[in-house]
Amino acid sequence: MALPTLSLQSNPSQNVILAFSFLIVVISWVSWMIKKSSKCTLPLPPGPRGLPIVGNLPFLKPNLHSYFSKLAETYGPIMKLRLGTKLCIVLSSPSVVKEVLKDQDTTFANHYAMSGVEILTYGLNNITWSPYGAQWRMLRKVSVHDFLNNTNLKAGQAVRRTEVRWMINRLYAKAGTPVIVGEYITQTIFNTMTRTLWGGSQSGDEGTAIGAEFEKVLKDLMVLLGKPNISDLYPIIAPLDVQGTRRKIKRLMSFFDRIFTTIINQRTEINKVGGEKEAKDFLDIILQLHNGSDPKTQLTMSHVKALLLDLVVGGTETVSTTMEWAMSEMLMSQKIIKKAQEELDTVVGKDNILLESHLPQLHYIEGIAREVLRLHPGLPLLVPRCPSVPATVSGYHIPLGTRIFINVWAIQRDPSLWENPLEFMPERWFSASNGELDMKGSDFRFFPFGSGRRVCVGINLAERMLTIILASLLHSFEWSLPEGTKLDLEDRFGLVMKKRNQLVAIPTPRLSNPELYAA
C-alpha cells in the first residue's frame, strides 16, 4: 500500500494581520460575555487574574496538566481561567469531579469539540466527540455490542497471541542491539486492532513502514489537538485558521482516509460478487448497518469511517503510550523487573510460552499496569467536557459553553490521596485501601479512562492488551539501557501524554529454548 505524503510545515501567515482587524469586535464580544455572566447571582470559581482580551493565555506553560496542578494549590480544586474569549474551568479533586461526572453526568455528557475535530471525526460522527444523544447511543451500542463484548474479546485471543508472538520474534532478531521500544509495541497493537476490525494485517517491510508512519501521524495529531488553538480561543476568527491547524489535520487525515477507503472498497467488491468468509468481522457488521433499512441503526459512510478511526486510534495510541511509560519506569528500577520476572517464572515458567490464561495469576504485573496508569494516565486532562445548560458546581456558576478540564493527572498524584505519590510502587495496589479500585471510574481517586456515560468503551480490551504485551516483554527478555544512556521521564503534553524522548533499550533473551521465540 502506497503511503500518502505528509507535510506539516506552516506558511508564514498573513492571516495574523487580518486577525487584528477583528480586534474591536473581539473586545465588544468579551464585554458582552462579561456582562452576560454577571447577571447570574452565583459567582464564577476563583482563578488567576488575566489581561484584557487575552485573559490568562500569555501565562500558560507548555505542560498544561502540571501548570494547572500548580495553580490549583493557590486557587483550589475548582478554578477558572480565561483563555481569549473562552471561559475554562479546571477540576482537581475527587469530590468536585464527582459532582460533574456522576451527580450531573447528563448535563456534562458532551465533549468539547476543539477546532478541527470535526475533520478528524468525519463531522463529529464517532463515539468520542459525537454530541450526547440518540446518535451517540447508537454508535456506542454498535461498538460495545458488536466489537467490545466479552465474547468477541475472548475470541480475539488467537489474534492477540499471533501478533504478540510476531513482536517477540522480531525483537529476538534484534537481541543485543538498541531498539526503539515504542515502534514495536505500536505496530503490534495496530496490527491486532486492524486484524480484529477488518481482518487485515500488514507484515514484512510494508507493515513496518505503515506501522512507523501510523505512529508518526498519531503523534502529530495528538500534539495538534493538545495545543491551544487561537480558533478555539477566539471563535470569531476561526474561519481564518490562523495557526493552520485545520489544514494540518486535513493532511494527516489523508493517511487514515486512504486506508479506510481502500479496505471498504475491497470489502464492498467482495460482497458484490458473493464472496464469503468463515466469520463476520466488525467491518462486515457496520457495512450491513450502512446498507440496512432500519433508520434507528442505519450508519452513513461517515459513521463507518469515523468508527473505524475511533477504535483503531483509541485502541492503539493510549495503550502503546502507556506501555512505553511502563517500560521506562521499570528500567529506572531493575528490582521491579526482577520481581515481575520472578512471578512470571513461577506462574508461566521459563520453558513455556505466556498465554492470556496466565494473566489472572499475574498479580504483580497487574499492579505495574495500574501504577503506570496512575502516574501516567494516557489523557492527563481527559477529553474536555462542555455543559449542555448553565450549571452549578460546588456553589459556583458554570455558564453554557464553558470548557471543563478534569485534571486526572493531578488527582492521581495528590499527596493527600496517595502515599509517596511520585514513586512508582506496584506494591501499593495490594493494600486494603487501593486493592478494590478498578479502572472503570467508580472511585474518583483513580479513573484513568474517565467515568460516567462517556467512560472509555475499550477499557477491557486496553487492559488485556497492556498486560499481555507487558508480561510477554518481561518474560521473554532482560532489558537494559545502551551504555552511556541516561533515561528521563519527561513528558510532552498533547491530548495523549507521551514521553518527550522515545525509549531506546536493549533486549537480551532470557529463555533457554530458541523455539520459544518463534512467531
- pLDDT tens digit sequence for 354-390: 999 999 999 999 999 999 999 999 999 999 999 999 9
Per-residue pLDDT for 156 more than 60?
Answer: yes
Least confident range of 45-59, 61-75, 143-157, 317-331: 143-157
Banded pLDDT at 5 (limits 50, 70, 90): very low
* CA 337/CA 363 separation, integer angstroms: 14
Is residue 36 over pLDDT 70? no
CA dihedral 440, 445, 446, 449 (to 10 degrees): 60
Domains of the chain, first to last: 15-517 (1.10.630.10)
Rounded CA separation 179/479 (Å)? 11
How confident is the model at residue 211, as a pLDDT? 63
Share of the chain above pLDDT 90, in %: 65
DSSP assignments along 267-279, one per residue: HHHHHHTT---SS
DSSP state of 240: G
30-36: long-range contacts, CB 8 A cutoff, minimum separation 24 = 30/85, 33/85, 33/87, 36/399
Q: Give the separation between CA 378 and CA 140, rounded to whole angstroms.
A: 21
Average pLDDT over residues 310-315: 89
Q: At what angle do helices 459-476 and 334-347 cross, to 10 degrees?
A: 90
Nearest to 498 by CA among 310, 183, 223: 223
pLDDT tens per residue across span 423-476: 999 999 998 788 788 888 999 999 999 999 999 999 999 999 999 999 999 999
Chain center to CA of 344? 28
> Residue 223 pLDDT > 50, yes or no?
yes
Candidate ranges 1-5, 243-247, 422-426; pick with highest mean pLDDT: 422-426
pTM of the model: 0.89
Residues 60 and 377: beta-carbon distance below 8 Å:
no
Beta strand residue intervals within 128-238, DSSP E: 179-180
pLDDT of residue 17: 42
If you average pLDDT over residues 306-326, what whole number do you get?
Answer: 92
Altogether, the residues listed in the chain come to a count of 519
The Cα-based distances of 159 to 195, 212, 249 in angstroms read 7, 21, 31
pLDDT bracket for residue 277 (50, 70, 90): low
What is the C-alpha separation between 97 and 447, in angstroms, rounded?
Answer: 10
Q: What string of DSSP letters covers 438-502?
A: -SSSSSTT--TT--GGGS-TTHHHHHHHHHHHHHHHHHHEEEEPPTT------EE-SSS-EESS-
DSSP states along 54-116: TBTGGG--S-HHHHHHHHHHHH-SEEEEEETTEEEEEE-SHHHHHIIIIITTTTT-EEP--TT
pLDDT of residue 27: 52
pLDDT of 225 over the 90 cut: no
pLDDT for res 207: 52
pLDDT at position 142: 92
Instruction: Report pLDDT for 209.
Output: 61
The runs of H, that is alpha helices, within 200-300 are 204-226, 230-233, 245-272, 282-291
Q: Is the pLDDT of residue 208 over 60?
A: no
Distance (Å, rounded) from C-alpha 116 to C-alpha 110?
17
**Which pLDDT belongs to residue 33?**
54
Exposure of 440 in the CB half-sphere (CA atoms within 13 A): 7
